[in-house]
Amino acid sequence: MPLLDENVRNEVRRELAGLPGAVKLLVFTQEFECDYCAETRSLAEELSELSDRIEVEVHDLLGSKAVAEKYGIDKIPAIAVLGEGDRDYGIRFFGVPAGYEFSSLLEAIKMAASGDSGLSPEAREALKGLKNPVHIQVFVTLTCPYCPMAVQLAHRCAVESEHVRADMVEASEFPHLANRYGVYAVPKVVMNERVSFEGALPEKAFVDHLLEAGR
């Protein structure tokens, strides 16, 4: 049985109509699929049926070790969203992007297809000052209505700056990470292990934290 019902499929077709470029979803799973691994893979495959610009490539975390390392995939389920010509903007999803985060996956696909971050001119300018790599982890739950704002902003920054990689991390699927970073409220954003905050901040405050983390 498909994950997406007919209503959702129609909405997705509308959202993804006229993608300006090709998108590849690299899905990482394993032979004995983990909790939500099968769902994550099926979700990517169902999306590719709804747009001829979306291609799916499924990898086994251990079997495709080199690929996993190249894209910094250390846990599953995972999706890396690549743009035209396999361009890696640094957009990652760890855990199934369902619930509210399904909208973040659709936004990521649209962004990767266009290569346009959609950030304000001020934020674009500010991000030019970023010289060091920043790894953003946005911890979410699938029932949190404010989380997609933080995830999508992190992904926008990843598209805008080659120094930024941005992960959505579904907290309940990775309890060891939730524990390690003290995630007791979502969204929780961790940047380079040194800057962290809770809540969906406005663009300017988010970018300020990002610059601080990259200093």
Partner 1 sequence: MAELKFLVSTGLGRALKEGHLYDLVIVGAGPAGLTAAVYAARKKLDTLLISKDVGGQTLLTSDIENYMGYHYISGKELAAKFEEQVMKYPIDIAVGEEVVSLGRAGEDFALTTASGKGIRARAVIVATGKRSRPLNVPGERELVGRGVSYCAVCDAPLFAGKDVAVIGAGNSGATAVVDLLVIANRIYVVDIMPGWRADPVLVERIEAAGEKVGTFFGHEVVRIEGRDRVEGIVVRPRGGGAEVKLPVQGVFIEIGLIPNSDLAKGFLELNEAGEIVVDCRCRTSVPGVFAAGDVTNVPEKQVIIAAGEGAKAALSAYAYLIGQRR
Residues that bind partner 1 (CB under 8 A): 3-4, 8, 11-12, 15, 35-36, 39, 43, 96, 98-100, 102-103, 106-107, 141-149, 152, 171-172, 175, 178, 182-186, 188, 198-199, 202-204
Q: How far apart are CA 37 and CA 34, in angstroms?
A: 5
- DSSP character for 170? E
Identify the CA nearest to 33 among candidates 70, 64, 6, 60. 60
154 to 2, 6, 199: CA distances (angstroms): 30, 30, 13
Task: Considering the complex, state which of residue 80 and residue 178 has its C-beta at the smaller distance from partner 1.
Answer: 178
Task: Considering the complex, state which of residue 10 and residue 132 has its C-beta at the smaller distance from partner 1.
Answer: 10
Task: Considering the complex, state which of residue 50 and residue 127 has its C-beta at the smaller distance from partner 1.
Answer: 50
In the bound complex, what is the minimum distance in angstroms from residue 205's beta carbon to partner 1?
Answer: 10
In the bound complex, what is the minimum distance in angstroms from residue 134's beta carbon to partner 1?
Answer: 22
193 to 33, 70, 117, 188, 196: CA distances (angstroms): 29, 21, 24, 12, 7
119 to 153, 165, 206: CA distances (angstroms): 8, 16, 12
Task: Considering the complex, state which of residue 67 and residue 197 has its C-beta at the smaller distance from partner 1.
Answer: 197
In the bound complex, what is the minimum distance in angstroms from residue 116's beta carbon to partner 1?
Answer: 13
Task: Considering the complex, state which of residue 68 and residue 151 has its C-beta at the smaller distance from partner 1.
Answer: 151
Single-letter residue type at 182: G
Contacts of 110 (CB under 8 A, 6+ apart): 15, 16, 19
In the bound complex, what is the minimum distance in angstroms from residue 107's beta carbon to partner 1?
Answer: 6
Are residues 147 and 200 in contact, defined by beta-carbon separation less than 8 angstroms?
A: yes
In the bound complex, what is the minimum distance in angstroms from residue 69's beta carbon to partner 1?
Answer: 29
Task: Considering the complex, state which of residue 132 and residue 143 has its C-beta at the smaller distance from partner 1.
Answer: 143
Lookup: tokens for 108: 């990521």
**Helix (H) / strand (E) containing 155:** helix 147-160
In the bound complex, what is the minimum distance in angstroms from residue 144's beta carbon to partner 1?
Answer: 4
